[in-house]
Chains A and B, each alone.
Chain A
């Protein structure tokens, strides 16, 4: 690295650190603030002014969450869709990617175009909803799984990885009489594990984060995911925040509900964020490579 010398360089470096510090603060502080608010007692939070540290420490909101049937159920559904959905997505995508990585595949170009075209053109929300409805996916758990099995972008990343694998091992296995499925399962998949884990984690994060499908495509309260429950809580908060004046005369009881849902909102946000915070730093190693691959996809 360069040696820092002279006032000019010093000012330059100060500017650099200032920029990075600013980015660090605006990306970290909001999460910290939510965390602190979730640890402050509900009645005290209403007074406002909680910034860096809880004023009246309390675990009450987390206790409430653990008793909230809606949130607990939401957490269960979210967890389930993540552990069921992500591995299935990896399976479907890697099978497809392996096949498309074979240069000798008949009609490879056209099959590839069939998938890539969907990245650039879609039917839109309403026809999509009608299709889901016509195949009876609305208001079922499958609506979380089946529409998310394919992802062309992930497929291209995996295919690019598999194309670069040395062909010798596969060829010798072929001479031994193994078919393509066996070669994929015994040779290619184990070698591709790093890239498969990466897209698996991405798929898991997508599953964990997705809210619209649960919010719009399901009605059964038992099928609502944590994110969908959070949207509901957020809507309640907005109604409270933005109709302050007109509802000032509203009874205290209503306000008390709003207040308690407010601390729940912070705690629920934390619960939904925590798994992400724990997982995403491990992705770093892989996604730089994945993204560069994706950027120069053939």
Chain B
């Protein structure tokens, strides 16, 4: 770390001799500021930009045997887009994309309205113990790891678990539903699990937006004879529309990020054909099966498409809302 620190100083010095003395003076003045950037800069360089450089792996036929990583990296044969073609033409492409999009969209369909409804409901309740408890408990699932969440979800949905017992007691079913042995159910399980985990936390942003509503609007509505339902519909909800729009657009940009933890931890081999998403696929092929270059290619495909999506979606949201991400 100290070596590269010295190196950077030297580089800066060289750079500024060319630029002239005023910039050099400024850098000298700001040397402490630059020094404070350094730890974060080096971390980001290694952890975030290193892998971007490593994406070159997707275009070679990397074999781990023989020399060190870098030796193998530069001496493996360059094969262009072969791995990408292999992925698109393999029978895996369609089911993987289908599962990813289906799980994402289903999570959005259930998980997007849920926090809005929760925030609206919380807003109607008088400030007090019940409200505080309800709100605090509602975002507990957000703070536990997916490992704990998966443990809980699998227990709840197991053949002898509470949900099956409840459904049987209510005579909706005669024998337990085997939730995790039915592939079609997995998409719904992911949708509801995501919603369960983040509904309370996502409601916070809507609650914050609600508190900024001018109370005179409610008074005016009351004078016009609006009851609470009408007030919620005609005052609170319209005030949330900008927030709703921007969050919806942003989540569309994240559509390929169906997740990894939840699928990996909740899936099992019997339903893999429905549970497998891009990220779990990359992990299984790249790390578990050791097809490093292929995994890198699939990962690069996802990163590239996701980046294009996010950038275009941000441009869109800027046009809609005059608000943007950066």
Residues of chain A touching chain B, judged by Cβ–Cβ distance below 8 Å, are 1-2, 6, 8-9, 12-13, 16-17, 19-21, 23-24, 26-31, 33-34, 37, 48-49, 51, 91-93, 95-96, 98-100, 102, 104-106, 111, 114-116, 118, 120-131, 133-135, 146-147, 149-150, 152, 155, 179-181, 184, 205, 208-212, 216, 227, 230-231, 234, 237-238, 241-242, 265-266, 269, 272-273, 276-277, 280-281, 284, 287-288, 291-292, 295-297
A272 nearest CB neighbor, chain B only:
B148
Q: Mark B142-161, 1 if CB is under 8 A from A, else 0.
A: 01111110111111101110
- A112 → chain B, closest Cβ, in Å? 9
- Which 10 residue pairs of A and B lie closest in terms of their CB atoms, listed nearest first? A123-B51, A124-B299, A127-B54, A209-B145, A48-B160, A96-B40, A180-B32, A127-B51, A118-B48, A131-B50
Q: Which residues of B contact A210 (CB under 8 A)?
A: 145
Asked if B296 contacts A122 (CB within 8 A), the reply is no
Chain B, 270-307, CB within 8 A of any chain A CB? 270, 279, 282-283, 286-287, 292-293, 295-296, 299-300, 302-303, 307
Among candidates A19, A124, A147, residue contacting B303 with C-beta atoms closer than 8 Å:
A124
Is B23 a contact of A127 with CB atoms below 8 Å?
no
A73 to B158, CA, bound (A): 29
**Contact check: which of B35, B40, B292 meets A130 at CB < 8 Å?**
B292
Contact indicator A122/B23 (Cβ below 8 Å): no
A131 surroundings in chain B (CB, below 8 A): 46-47, 50-51, 54
Stretch of B89-97, B99-107, B115-123 lying at the A interface: B115-123
Inter-subunit contact A92/B138 (CB<8 Å): no
Given A118-B48, A131-B46, A269-B152, verify A19-B70 contact (CB < 8 Å): no
How many Å from the CB of B109 to the closest CB on chain A?
Answer: 18
Q: List 12 interface pairs A-B (beta carbons < 8 Å), by A numbering.
A: A31-B152, A99-B37, A106-B23, A106-B26, A124-B300, A126-B57, A127-B52, A128-B54, A147-B43, A180-B32, A230-B147, A234-B151
B245 at the interface (CB under 8 A from A): no
Q: Which residues of B contact A (CB under 8 A)?
A: 23, 26-27, 30, 32-37, 39-41, 43-44, 46-55, 57, 68-70, 73, 117-118, 121-122, 124-127, 130-131, 133-134, 136-141, 143-148, 150-156, 158-160, 162, 165, 180-181, 196, 199-200, 204-205, 207-208, 227-229, 260-261, 265, 268-270, 279, 282-283, 286-287, 292-293, 295-296, 299-300, 302-303, 307, 310-311, 323, 326
Question: Which A residues are CB-close (under 8 A) to B133?
Answer: 24
A155 to B204, CA, bound (A): 21
Q: Which residues of A contact B126 (CB under 8 A)?
A: 1
Q: A111, B37: Cβ atoms under 8 Å?
A: yes
Identify B150's interface contact among A147, A150, A209, A234, CB under 8 A. Answer: A234
Cβ–Cβ contact A27 & B69, under 8 A: no
Contacts of A93 in B (CB 8 A): 40
Asked if A92 contacts B40 (CB within 8 A), the reply is: yes
Q: Specify which chain A residues have a CB less than 8 angstroms from the CB of B32 in the assembled complex.
A: 179-181
Q: Are A19 and B51 in contact (CB under 8 A)?
A: no
| A208 CB contacts on chain B under 8 angstroms | 145
Q: Which residue of A lies closest to B156 (CB)?
A: A30
Q: Inside 8 A of B130's CB, which chain A residues have their CB?
A: 20
Question: What's the minimum C-beta distance from B107 to chain A, rounded to whole angstroms?
Answer: 16
Q: A100-B37, A146-B47 are in contact. Are A23 and B200 (CB under 8 A)?
A: yes
Assuming A124-B299, A238-B154, what are 17 further A-B pairs, CB within 8 angstroms?
A2-B228, A20-B134, A27-B140, A27-B200, A51-B165, A92-B40, A96-B36, A99-B36, A122-B48, A128-B47, A130-B54, A147-B47, A184-B36, A227-B147, A234-B265, A238-B180, A277-B140
